[in-house]
Structures are given as C-alpha cells and as structure tokens.
Amino acid sequence: MSNWHISRRTFLRGAAGAVSTFLGLPFLEAMTPRSARLAAKIAPPLRMGCIYMPNGIPTDAWRPEVKDGRLVKMNEWMSPFEPLKNDVQFISGLGSETKGSHPGAAATWLVRPCIEGDRIGQLKQAGAPSMDQIVARKIGDETPFPSLELISKPEGSFSKSLLRHNISWRNASTPVPRETEPRAIYDRLTGLSMQNKDSSQIQSVLDTVLNDANSLRRRVGRADQDRLDEYFDAVRSIEKQMSAMASESRASAREKASTFPQPPEGIPEDHGAYLRLMFDMMVLAYWTDSTRVATFMLDHEQSNRYFDYIPNVKGMWHAISHWRDISGNSEDDDGDTSWSSKEVKYDQYRTIIKYHQEQVAYFLNRLKEIKEGDGTLLDHSMILYGSPFTDGNEHLSYNLSMLIAGKAGGKISPGRLLEYPDGPAEGVYLSMMDIMGVPVHEIGGVDTIIPLT
C-alpha cells in the first residue's frame, strides 16, 4: 500500500472546451487511513438497489432446489443465477396488498398502500414515499446524487401510464423522474453535457481528465494502479459502446428491423444490449460512489413489448403472461397472434422471464468482478430483485418472487432460502432500511421485520 492518502470523495476533474467534467473514483487502498482505528471506520460504502420485473414470475419458474435451507441448484428458468447461488438468497412466502391491479403493482411495489377492500383498482397515487426514497433522503447528501432511477423505454400499451411506470416516489403523489437513455445517465454521472453535439464532436470524458488521472496514477501503489486501469477500461468501453450506437446507420438498421416498433434514436436495437448498457450505468454509479441508492424497472408494468426475436416466442409480453387464453382474441392480444396450447404459451412466458434473468445476472456478475476493499462491489451491495405477481395470468400477490443479492458489507449471509409463510413483503423493506442505517419503525402500518441476516 502507498503511504500517500486521499479522500474517498476525491474526483478527477477536467474540461472539454467550456464544459466542466468530473469523474468519481472507485474505492482505493490510498483512501484507507494508515491508522488501524480510522481504517476500521472508513470501509467501502454500502449500496442498495431495487430491480423490478413486470407481469409476474410464476413459482415454478422461480423456486430453486434447496437442502437444509441452502441453495443447491437453480431450475431451468433461474439458470442464469447458477454461478451466483452463493451470492444470492431467496425469500419465499411473502405477500402484498396489490390485489390484482397492474397500476397498484408498480406504484406500490416499494410502498405499503393504505386501502380498504379492493379499492386499489381505482388507485390514483402511491400513497407514501417509497422505501428507496426514504433511504435516499437520509443518506443522499453523502454522494453527488441522492438516488438514480432507471426504466427501459416504454413500448406498447399503457406506455404513458404514470402508476405503471413508477416505483420510486418522493411523496404520496410525486414520482421521481426516471432515465431511459444510457448516454443521458452517463452525462449525468460524469457531469458532461452532450446536448446539441453529434458523436464526432463528443470528447471522451477520460480525455478531459487525462492529466489529473496520470498524476493520481503515479502517486498510488501498484494494486491501486491496477484498480484504476480496470476502472478506466470500463469507462472507455462504455464510451465506445455509446459512440458506436450514435454513429450507426439508422437506414441500415431499419432495413433489418421487423414490422414491430423499433427503439428510438439513442437506444440500441438489441433490447438485451440496451438493458445491459443500462445496468452498466448502475455499476458505474455504484463504483464511483455517485449514488448508493438506485432502482431499475426492467419495463413498465403491463408492458406489451414484442419478444418475437427470442427463439420460440411470439406475441406481446403482457398478452403472453395471460397464458391460459390461447385464442389470441382477448383485449390483451394484437389480433394476429394465437397459440397451439396453454403449455406452449406458458413455456414462452417463462422463456421471457429467463431472458430478463440473464440480464439481471449480467449486472450481478459485473458487480462481482470488481474488486473493492476486502471483497467485491457485490459484497458491499444489497440488491433486491422481484415482481409484484406470482403469476401474470391470475395476478396473484402472495408467495411473491423475491431475491436479495450481495452481502451488504457482511451483514447478509447469502446462499440460502428464507421462508416466511404469509409474511408481509414490507417486512423485507424494513430490514433493508435498517441495514442501510435508516431504521424505520413501520411502513404503511406494517411493523413486522423480516430478518435477512
């Protein structure tokens, strides 16, 4: 370790013309005080994330093989998480107050709604600040951005519904604005405005801070040099992806496109690449300590995005989630697609789910690949992933699919299945907030904590 010490809040700074640029740094050994007493107080920060999966995840596409409470093997539909089975823990048996409503499913996923009977079908607002925003409000002043909210660009029906598009709420009626374009997120994190510039005019953020970076690199130890090289390579890779995306011939892309709506300018044609690039932005935000709280809606609730490009899948997502109707004539269908059997349609439903789990697994693996402090970025994170429905066809809101990834800085022991029959999902939120150092007595009238440790 180098004898030189720098603050955790150090930034690389530069300028591109009249545009100021700053770039946060990953956790380095040079940020650890030489005093053992002080070093114990300055550990890698703890991050929290919430990843939302719309249209439900049925139980048989979720539950892994378990022995004595330990995860043994993921089933076919959860197989992307097989290499991560010692980094995640499943929680089963929990329920919510969604009561079959798509708008309520999204808007209240991180909020416990106070409702009477089945009135959630007429829900007009979330009803309270969401769990992530309660945490962000408390610890957000420790980072440049209190929180980061992401969602994939809407497509298909209900693409403008406020309730279906928001899981993060500042208060009972005000959602937090979400980002849909990777470059906009990147600009926000780096402080580089790229408005009114084409790709040939965009100067690399790394180029603008090059002198500062070289000066820092000469003053830190070999381990930190390697860490900085890895970090800069990752930033450069993201820049290259965005530059290639910006310069791609749209005419050529349209020729290859299907008859279905294509993503607009600034978003990759390949939806999986798009989701992974969005996840890269989350990794960058955590890695640079730009924020410690982030949410990502993989799509808006009740999304009817086409997934015909996935082998053996045809039709729209929400329509496919209603797998018991194979006629293709319901109000959820496009009028052109039908299925030969319920089994075929149900298999397509689970295939779409697996496709999204592949993208989530990519994100978790990226966090796991990055060394930080005495472990990895994933070790110092607590990532919630789940869906508000057990089954998209029935809109069931009990025995929900819920997973927690990461060790939360040693506060969580993954590799397990935790079972809490008939427990409230909000109990997990209370536990997560407590782990983040934001103890809350209750959320929406629920004061039952679901232990994660």
Of 240, 266, 241, 237, whose CA–CA distance to 253 is shortest? 266
Q: What is the pLDDT of residues 280-339, one digit of tens each?
A: 999 999 998 899 999 999 999 999 999 999 999 999 999 999 999 999 988 788 888 999
Q: What letter represents residue 54's amino acid?
A: P
Of 168, 258, 243, whose CA–CA distance to 203 is shortest? 243
Q: What letter represents residue 171's amino acid?
A: N
pLDDT at 203: 60
Report, in angstroms and rounded to the nearest whole number, the Rg of the chain calculated over CA atoms: 22
* Per-residue confidence band for 370, with pLDDT thresholds at 50, 70 and 90: very high
* Per-residue confidence band for 412, with pLDDT thresholds at 50, 70 and 90: very high
User: Lowest mean pLDDT: which of 200-214, 361-375, 394-408?
Assistant: 200-214
Mean pLDDT value across residues 351-374: 96
Answer with the residue of higher pLDDT: 12 or 42.
12
Q: How far apart are CA 387 and CA 403, in angstroms?
A: 10
pLDDT at 192: 58
b/e burial code for range 143-160 (CB count within 10 A of at least 16 → b) = bbebbbbbbbbbbbbbbe
pLDDT at 244: 65
* Per-residue confidence band for 452, with pLDDT thresholds at 50, 70 and 90: very high
Question: What angle do the packed helices 271-287 and 342-369 form, to 10 degrees?
Answer: 30
The fold adopted by the segment(s) 47-180+292-453 is Alkaline Phosphatase, subunit A (3.40.720)
CA of residue 162 relative to chain centroid, distance: 19
DSSP-assigned letters across all residues of 133-162: HHHHHHHGGGSSSS-EEEEPPP-STTTT-T
User: Lowest mean pLDDT: which of 18-22, 264-268, 301-305, 396-400?
Assistant: 18-22
Mean pLDDT value across residues 123-129: 65
- Contact 291/148 with Cβ under 8 angstroms? yes
The share of the chain scoring above pLDDT 90, in percent, equals: 49
pLDDT at 1: 46
* DSSP character at residue 198: -
pLDDT at 116: 42
Is 306 buried (19+), middle (13-18) or exposed (0-12) by CB count in 10 A?
A: buried
Q: How far apart are CA 397 and CA 93, in angstroms?
A: 10
Q: Report the length, in residues, of the chain.
A: 453
For residue 399 the two structure tokens come to: 């025995």
Q: How far apart are CA 262 and CA 260, in angstroms?
A: 6
Q: What is the pTM of this model?
A: 0.83
Question: What angle do the packed helices 426-435 and 131-139 form, to 10 degrees?
Answer: 10
* Per-residue confidence band for 252, with pLDDT thresholds at 50, 70 and 90: very low
For residue 154 the two structure tokens come to: 């809407």
Interacting residues of 220 by C-beta distance below 8 A, sequence separation 6+: 2, 4, 28, 29, 30, 228
Mean pLDDT value across the chain: 83
88-92, strands of its sheet edge to edge: 148-151, 293-297, 47-52, 381-386, 402-405, 88-92, 417-419
First to last CA, the chain: 33
Query: What CA–CA distances, in Å, run from 444 to 111, 122, 432?
Result: 7, 18, 16
For residue 181 the two structure tokens come to: 């374009």
Q: What letter represents residue 376's amino acid?
A: T
CA of residue 377 relative to chain centroid, distance: 15
pLDDT at 419: 93
pLDDT at 221: 84
Extract the runs of DSSP E, i.e. beta strands, from 34-183: 47-52, 65-67, 70-73, 88-92, 148-151
Look at strands 65-67 and 70-73 and give their pairing: antiparallel
pLDDT at 407: 98
Q: How far apart are CA 30 and CA 409, in angstroms?
A: 20
pLDDT at 384: 98
Q: How far apart are CA 213 and CA 12, in angstroms?
A: 6
Answer with the residue of higher pLDDT: 313 or 215.
313
Answer with the residue of higher pLDDT: 172 or 79.
79
Look at strands 47-52 and 293-297 and give their pairing: parallel
pLDDT at 220: 82
Mean pLDDT value across residues 89-117: 77
- Contact 170/149 with Cβ under 8 angstroms? no
Instruction: Tell me: pLDDT of 93 over 80.
Output: yes
Query: What CA–CA distances, in Å, run from 143 to 10, 139, 206, 296, 327?
Result: 11, 8, 21, 19, 52
Q: What letter represents residue 321's amino acid?
A: S
* Per-residue confidence band for 382, with pLDDT thresholds at 50, 70 and 90: very high
pLDDT at 245: 63
* Per-residue confidence band for 257, with pLDDT thresholds at 50, 70 and 90: very low
DSSP 3-state of 296: strand
Domain range annotation of the chain? 1-43+181-266, 47-180+292-453
Instruction: Tell me: pLDDT of 264 over 60.
Output: no
Instruction: Tell me: pLDDT of 363 over 70.
Output: yes
Q: What is the pLDDT of residues 8-21, one digit of tens each?
A: 666 677 655 444 56
Mean pLDDT value across residues 238-263: 54
pLDDT at 66: 96
DSSP 3-state of 20: strand
CA of residue 21 relative to chain centroid, distance: 26
